[in-house]
Amino acid sequence: MEDWINIMPEIFSTYYQSPVGLLKISGTEHFISEIVFIDNIEKPHGDHKKKLPPIIINCIEQLIQYFHGERRFFDFALNQSGSEFQKKVWNELIGIPFGKTISYLELARRLGDAKVIRAAASAIGKNNIVIVVPCHRVVGSKNDLVGYSGGIWRKKWLLEHESKIAHGVQTLF
């Protein structure tokens, strides 16, 4: 059992105060596993003065660039736990262009079957790497803002932010 414990990668976490709220960022030395909205900074367990790996620092820098309108794509390694179907959905989300949206139905069609719309929506709700895996780019059939774990106001903000950068100043909603 002790050998198993020793091979588990160490998880590092930090926080970034973004324009849309506090983000908790977690990962190992090799990948980011979590970027989620939180309300309060959690008290650290163990040695909280450990140096953050370069990938987490790079993630924060890229998020800052995104919020400043200087970045449209993220280029660090991701590893999110989930089923094969969830991973397929998350990979489709990454393919949605910056400043664009698709409907849940269109996402299901891209996955190969319009009938998986509810399962795809459920997988989107389990996405733990917000912004980078852009679940905010999926909207309702009538272009309405529905279903965002970070709150509809954040979804609206993110979509308007991307639209301003991609297409000049305009309002989507």
Active-site residue list: 135
| Inter-residue contact 98 to 165 (CB < 8 Å) | yes
In the block, residue with structure tokens 């089923």: 83
Largest pairwise CA distance in the chain: 57
Structure tokens at 40: 């309060």
| Alpha carbon distance 126, 86 (integer Å) | 8
Rg of the chain (C-alpha set)? 17
Task: State residue 123 phi and psi, 5-degree precision.
Answer: -65, -40
Q: For residues 122-145, b (16+ Cβ closer than 10 Å) or e, as one string?
A: ebbeebbbbbbbbbbbbbeeeeeb
